[in-house]
């Protein structure tokens, strides 16, 4: 099974069972018949963590992400209460994001770098529509600045001026401490980061909750934005610069907290 619904969280599972039990009791009392899927989904929002499946295969990155990046990100989302967390990859049926799955998704998180061109145009269009017209949240990670759905949502080139993994480190700076994505987050250091040089050719963001300062191996510093927010149509979009496949960013508590906050922020508002 490739579509690994994260089920190792006992607390989550027991919560689901209780919810299902309560739902069944309600059915018994009211006599209203609901489809099982409706019961299971009641009160739960869904985040799908979607990656292209290369990080767990490539020689250098598989040491860091043997279960691929989607699994590492999904594990970090476990503290989210009331969320169903699903991992998906491009190699799954329907490229991991079927119509039905997408329709029930509140936030889609995307990581990829080598296979952006494999994503079917039709799927890109459906994701775009879900965000713009129906308010689904979209979170693009690192090299997903060139992912087709992200580019379509931004409508610009989405390039950085340089991409350098030369041993550069970075300080991630909480620039907007009152922004929901920064809740509980303090400035922190990433000992290694792929340096993405400004300018980042995207529309002016509505917020840049996370800024950054790179330190190159020669000691020179260079600023670079790390977390950017937009509203696109009815949906919210967040882009996070770190997340190179050979660095363990998605296992770091600070990054995991940012991801949890970003999911809550990007979720459609009732």
Instruction: Check residue 195 for interaction with Zn ion (CB under 5 A).
Output: no
Instruction: Check residue 194 for interaction with Zn ion (CB under 5 A).
Output: yes
Report how far residue 105's alpha carbon sits from residue 235's, in angstroms, rounded to the nearest whole number: 12
Strands (E), 98-234: 107-111, 137-141, 163-164, 169-174, 188-190, 195-196, 207-215, 221-223, 227-232
φ, ψ dihedrals at 183, nearest 5° = -60, 120
Stretch that binds Zn ion, among 1-9, 12-20, 32-40, 242-250 (CB under 5 A): 242-250
CB of 7 to Zn ion, least distance (A): 30
Nearer to Zn ion, 130 or 244 (CB): 244
The alpha carbon torsion through 155, 259, 135, 154 (nearest 10 deg) reads 0
Nearer to Zn ion, 42 or 165 (CB): 165
CB of 143 to Zn ion, least distance (A): 5
**Residue in 244, 247, 259, 265 binding Zn ion, rule: CB under 5 A:** 244
Which positions from 42 through 101 interact with Zn ion, judged by CB under 5 A?
A: none
Which positions from 134 through 173 interact with Zn ion, judged by CB under 5 A?
A: 143
List residues bridging with 138 in a β-sheet: 108, 237
Nearer to Zn ion, 114 or 186 (CB): 114
Nearer to Zn ion, 83 or 250 (CB): 250
Nearer to Zn ion, 83 or 150 (CB): 150
Nearer to Zn ion, 12 or 244 (CB): 244
Number of helical (H) and strand (E) elements in the chain, helices listed first:
7, 12
Preceding amide of 241 cis, omega within 30: no
Stretch that binds Zn ion, among 75-83, 133-141, 221-229, 240-248 (CB under 5 A): 240-248
CB of 131 to Zn ion, least distance (A): 24
Residues 6+ apart with CB under 8 A from 267: 45, 106, 107, 137, 236
CB of 91 to Zn ion, least distance (A): 20
Stretch that binds Zn ion, among 114-122, 169-177, 198-206, 241-249 (CB under 5 A): 241-249
Report how far residue 75's alpha carbon sits from residue 199's, in angstroms, rounded to the nearest whole number: 32
Q: Which pair of structure tokens corresponds to residue 195?
A: 């340096």
Q: Which residue has its beta carbon closest to Zn ion? A: 244
Q: Look at strands 45-51 and 83-89 and give their pairing.
A: parallel
CB of 89 to Zn ion, least distance (A): 18
Nearer to Zn ion, 224 or 235 (CB): 224
What are the distances in angstroms from CA 81 to CA 11, 77, 213, 239, 263?
10, 9, 33, 23, 11
Residues that bind Zn ion (CB under 5 A): 143, 194, 244
């Amino acid at each position: 099974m490739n579509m690994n619904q994260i089920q190792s969280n006992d607390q989550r599972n027991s919560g689901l069972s209780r919810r299902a039990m309560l739902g069944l009791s309600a059915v018994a009392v009211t006599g209203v018949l609901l489809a099982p899927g409706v019961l299971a989904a009641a009160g739960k929002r869904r985040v799908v963590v979607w990656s292209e499946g290369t990080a767990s295969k490539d020689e250098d990155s598989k040491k860091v992400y043997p279960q691929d990046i989607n699994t590492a990100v999904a594990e970090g989302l476990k503290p989210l209460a009331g969320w169903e967390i699903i991992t998906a990859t491009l190699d799954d049926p329907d490229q991991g994001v079927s119509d039905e799955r997408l329709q029930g998704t509140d936030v889609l998180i995307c990581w990829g770098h080598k296979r952006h061109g494999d994503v079917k145009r039709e799927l890109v269009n459906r994701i775009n529509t879900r965000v713009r017209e129906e308010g689904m949240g979209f979170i693009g990670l690192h090299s997903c600045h060139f992912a087709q759905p992200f580019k379509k949502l931004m409508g610009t080139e989405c390039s950085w001026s340089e991409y350098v993994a030369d041993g550069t480190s970075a300080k991630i700076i909480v620039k907007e401490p009152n922004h929901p994505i920064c809740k509980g987050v303090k400035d922190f250091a990433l000992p290694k980061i792929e340096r993405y040089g400004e300018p980042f050719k995207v529309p002016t963001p509505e917020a840049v909750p996370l800024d950054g300062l790179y330190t190159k191996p020669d000691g020179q510093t260079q600023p670079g934005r790390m977390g950017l927010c937009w509203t696109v149509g009815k949906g919210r979009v967040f882009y996070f610069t770190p997340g190179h496949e050979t660095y363990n960013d998605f296992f770091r508590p600070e990054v995991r907290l940012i991801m949890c906050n970003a999911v809550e922020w990007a979720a459609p508002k009732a």
